[in-house]
Amino acid sequence: MSLRLENCPVCGKVYMLEQYSPAFADGAARGVIKCPHCGNEKAGEPDFIYSGHKLPGEE
């Protein structure tokens, strides 16, 4: 699993993005990066699962 900061092209906000192997998340959609602020979806690498989280303090 890896963690990085991602910038949403729609709302412009920064969020934390977890990227991990589908082996750890059966049934989750592959290759979809979803912004936790506005819900915009964009394509990631098709062999990974993505999970977006707001930064601490922005909940």
Residues that bind Zn ion (CB under 5 A): 8, 10-11, 35, 37-38, 40
Tokens for 17? 């993005």
Other C-beta atoms lying within 10 Å of the C-beta of residue 52: 19
In the complex, the smallest distance separating the C-beta of residue 19 from Zn ion, rounded to whole angstroms, is: 17
In the complex, the smallest distance separating the C-beta of residue 12 from Zn ion, rounded to whole angstroms, is: 7
Residue number with CB closer to Zn ion (33 or 49)? 33
In the complex, the smallest distance separating the C-beta of residue 29 from Zn ion, rounded to whole angstroms, is: 17
CA torsion angle 35 16 30 24 (round to 10): -140
